[in-house]
């Protein structure tokens, strides 16, 4: 039986050892994509030895977390920028060449980790709902979402064989099961959600259906029955590979059905907990902002489906003066805790 690879036993540049140790600690606590199997974790480290774009992406991810959670944030922010710049350069070179099956794991994991970094909010001032992209008129307001499209494109290129790959199974949700009975306690997507989005066909081949809501709605249907919390986070990431350009265009227009779909995904991520530093803040903020917009502007058939999101992010539908004080205090607490604990 092969020995388990320890990060300390790998051939890394000495100056990167601090970041590597932090990456190892962070992932062992499930603070990146939830609990990682020994097989997945060991192979990611092995691949990072071989592929510089993955190595720099691991290091930039660790540096980003340290920049948010230690008093040496300026130093770690510099490290993050250095490694991310190198990672993006190497990654761009790699995907400009013919894509080899042998590199598929490294490329897709790199893509996932890059999207994680762009998903993360820049600072605590961005936590308030009014700072959400939903209220912005900037032409780059969805840049964080556009980055996710790289993962979809890569998965599409490797789809003929990636389903047989054990590493990528770490991110794939289970196959959809029969719809539970009305009296079942299993969480599921309401029938009215499918009706609202006119999703009537089976899931089929991803990225081929003319209905832009088809793929993300089916993705949600597979995700909702999963256990709430961090152990399902890697499965939640599967959703980004089901957001194709026509759907993104609807989000760009603040289309109510597209916002509802995205809001349900944010609601799922709200359940992973504040400790998951890169996603919880954005998910809660944007879930809250979507609740505000839909309750104010959407039709009754959409508003009737917002309750799941409200419960996940703590939104108060009837927002009087008292609730506004609670909301303000709640977000102030979140902002104060944004820096997290000192990891030095």
Task: Tell me, letter by letter, the H, E, C secondary structure of 294-336.
Answer: HHHHCCHHHHCCCHHHHHHHCCCCCCCHHHHHHHHHHHHHHHH
- My answer on whether 76 and 197 are in the same domain is no
- My answer on whether 138 and 284 are in the same domain is yes
- My answer on whether 106 and 144 are in the same domain is no
Q: What is the DSSP letter of 174?
A: P
pTM given for the model: 0.81
The residue range of the domain holding 192 is 122-174+187-317
pLDDT tens digits, 155-165: 666 665 555 55
pLDDT at 256: 97
Query: Considering the domain boundaries, does residue 3 fall inside one?
Result: no
Cα–Cα distance for residue pair 314/292, rounded to 1 Å: 12
- My answer on whether 210 and 278 are in the same domain is yes
- My answer on whether 271 and 309 are in the same domain is yes
- My answer on whether 197 and 309 are in the same domain is yes
- My answer on whether 191 and 310 are in the same domain is yes
Query: Considering the domain boundaries, does residue 222 fall inside one?
Result: yes
pLDDT at 217: 96
Cα–Cα distance for residue pair 331/28, rounded to 1 Å: 29
Nearest to 77 by CA among 65, 94, 87: 65
Q: Are 281 and 248 in contact (CB under 8 A)?
A: no
Query: Considering the domain boundaries, does residue 309 fall inside one?
Result: yes
Ranges of the chain whose pLDDT falls below 70: 1-15, 70-72, 124-125, 150-185, 317-344
- Quick one: how far is CA 2 from the chain centroid? 33
Q: Are 288 and 315 in contact (CB under 8 A)?
A: yes
Quickly count: other Cβ atoms within 10 Å of residue 195's Cβ: 11
- My answer on whether 215 and 310 are in the same domain is yes
Cα–Cα distance for residue pair 148/5, rounded to 1 Å: 30
Cα–Cα distance for residue pair 144/131, rounded to 1 Å: 14
Nearest to 255 by CA among 302, 214, 193: 302
Query: Considering the domain boundaries, does residue 332 fall inside one?
Result: no
Q: Domain count for the chain, please give it.
A: 2
- My answer on whether 165 and 228 are in the same domain is yes
Coil, helix or strand at residue 286: helix
- My answer on whether 140 and 74 are in the same domain is no
Cα–Cα distance for residue pair 184/162, rounded to 1 Å: 34
pLDDT at 306: 96
Query: Considering the domain boundaries, does residue 204 fall inside one?
Result: yes
Phi, psi of 49 (to 5 degrees): -70, -35
Q: Are 106 and 265 in contact (CB under 8 A)?
A: no
Quickly count: other Cβ atoms within 10 Å of residue 101's Cβ: 11
pLDDT at 167: 59
Cα–Cα distance for residue pair 328/314, rounded to 1 Å: 12
- My answer on whether 197 and 257 are in the same domain is yes
- My answer on whether 35 and 100 are in the same domain is yes
pLDDT at 179: 61
Angstrom CA distances, 286 to 175, 196, 201, 296, 341, stand at 28, 22, 29, 15, 24
């Amino acid at each position: 039986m092969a020995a388990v690879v320890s990060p300390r036993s790998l051939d890394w540049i000495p100056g990167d050892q601090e970041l590597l140790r932090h990456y190892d600690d962070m992932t062992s606590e499930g603070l990146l994509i939830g609990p990682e199997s020994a097989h997945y974790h060991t192979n990611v480290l092995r691949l990072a030895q071989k592929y510089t774009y993955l190595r720099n992406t691991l290091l930039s991810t660790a540096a980003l977390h340290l920049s948010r959670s230690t008093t040496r944030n300026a130093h770690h922010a510099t490290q993050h920028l250095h490694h991310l710049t190198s990672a993006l350069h190497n990654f761009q070179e790699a995907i400009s060449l013919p894509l080899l099956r042998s590199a598929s794991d490294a490329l897709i994991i790199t893509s996932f980790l890059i999207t994680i970094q762009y998903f993360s909010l820049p600072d605590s001032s961005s936590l308030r709902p009014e700072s959400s992209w939903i209220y912005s008129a900037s032409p780059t307001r969805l840049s964080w979402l556009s980055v996710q499209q790289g993962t979809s494109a890569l998965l599409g290129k490797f789809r003929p064989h990636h389903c047989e790959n054990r590493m990528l199974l770490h991110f794939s949700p289970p196959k959809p099961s029969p719809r539970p009975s009305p009296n079942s306690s299993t969480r599921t997507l309401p029938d009215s959600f499918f009706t609202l989005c006119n999703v009537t066909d089976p899931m089929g081949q991803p990225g081929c259906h003319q209905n832009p809501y088809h793929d993300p709605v089916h993705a949600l249907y597979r995700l909702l029955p999963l256990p709430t919390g961090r152990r399902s986070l890697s499965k939640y990431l599967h959703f980004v590979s089901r957001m194709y350009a026509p759907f993104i265009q609807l989000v760009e227009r603040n289309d109510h059905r597209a916002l509802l779909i995205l809001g349900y995904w944010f609601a799922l991520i709200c359940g992973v907990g504040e400790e998951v530093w890169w996603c919880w803040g954005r998910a809660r903020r944007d879930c809250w902002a979507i609740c505000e917009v839909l309750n104010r502007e959407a039709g009754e058939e959409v508003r009737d489906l917002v309750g799941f999101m409200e419960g996940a992010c703590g939104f108060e539908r009837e927002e009087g003066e008292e609730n506004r004080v609670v909301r303000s205090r709640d977000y102030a607490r979140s902002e104060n805790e944004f820096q997290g604990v000192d990891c030095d």
